Amino acid sequence: MTQQAISFEFFPPKTEKGSENLRQVRDELATLNPEFFSVTYGAGGSTQDCTLQTVIEIQQESGIEAAPHLSCVGSQKIQILEILQTFKDNDIKRIVALRGDLPSGMQDIGELKYANDLVHFIREQMGDHFHIEVAAYPEMHPQAPNFNNDLENFARKVNAGSDSAITQYFYNIDAYFRFLDSCEKLNITIPIVPGIMPITNFTQLARFSDGTGAEIPRWLRKRLEGYGDDLVSIEKLGTDFVTEMCQKLMAQGAPGLHFYSMNRVEPTKTILNNL
């Protein structure tokens, strides 16, 4: 079992059945002693209330720190301030600060246009109450014009007052370590934790990866494609590959692992048991 910090991401459930499932997943993953659980936030804050409710429940019932995602695009400062105060009133001490995506059809980008604006606003209004996580993109944000521009954007988030970062998931560890080297040259010293996406459904993963710019190595894509609808074989290969990737990341000094759990215990727990 790894000694470095681990954490898990959930999405807020939409039904009572989903809520019950998440409680079971949370309780089982809590036995692995994660540093925190994070909970995602819909485009333009579309799941804001559900995110807050889920975070409060996780923290109160599991005793493990919970971190809501907070996106700023499409919101006004007064709205963000109210949310921050609600977090503070409920003893939330960690936030994942993101720009976020505008919901389809929404035109008003809001007063805080970028994640660095949000980080600066949180620090301005709340001082050091919150540990602020931000997103990092080892293979470049899909909307960035080039890698250097993306790196400069990341530096702005860090300099605005970020404490640590979580990466977009990736399957090419060289990209992660090249990103760390680039950050070092800019004197960026905050911990940058690899985001880990277990592989269970290749069709879904390929579609998502094509949209986010997360490269699936050609040999891995071809092997997974070759299994067709054989989900057992896809998950076996995917779990073996991601386990080996995590071993290499930890051996080479990654500060921890952040798992995109998709509200499932397996195969995240299998990967950690393998480690």
Residue 1 pLDDT: 43
- Residue 95: per-residue pLDDT: 97
CATH numbers and ranges of domains, the chain: 5-274 (3.20.20.220)
Query: What's the pLDDT at 4?
Result: 82
Opening angle at CA 144, ends 142 and 150, nearest 5: 115
**Cα torsion 139, 158, 194, 196: sign:** negative
Tens of pLDDT along the chain (275 residues) come to 446 899 999 999 989 999 999 999 999 999 999 999 999 986 555 556 788 899 999 999 999 999 999 998 888 899 999 999 999 999 999 999 999 876 666 666 778 989 999 999 999 999 999 999 999 999 999 889 999 999 999 999 999 999 999 999 999 999 999 999 999 999 999 999 999 999 999 999 999 998 888 999 999 999 999 999 999 999 999 999 999 999 999 999 999 999 999 999 998 999 999 99
**Catalytic residue (choose from 9, 133, 139, 235):** 9
Tokens of 111: 């007063």
Query: Which pLDDT score, from 0 to 100, does residue 225 have?
Result: 94
Q: What is the pLDDT of residue 141?
A: 92
pLDDT score at 177: 97
Separation between Cα atoms, residue 168 and residue 185, nearest integer Å: 21
Report residue 142 as tokens. 């899909």
Q: Given this model, what pLDDT does residue 105 score?
A: 60
What is the pLDDT at residue 2?
Answer: 47
pTM, full prediction: 0.94
- 61 an active-site residue? no
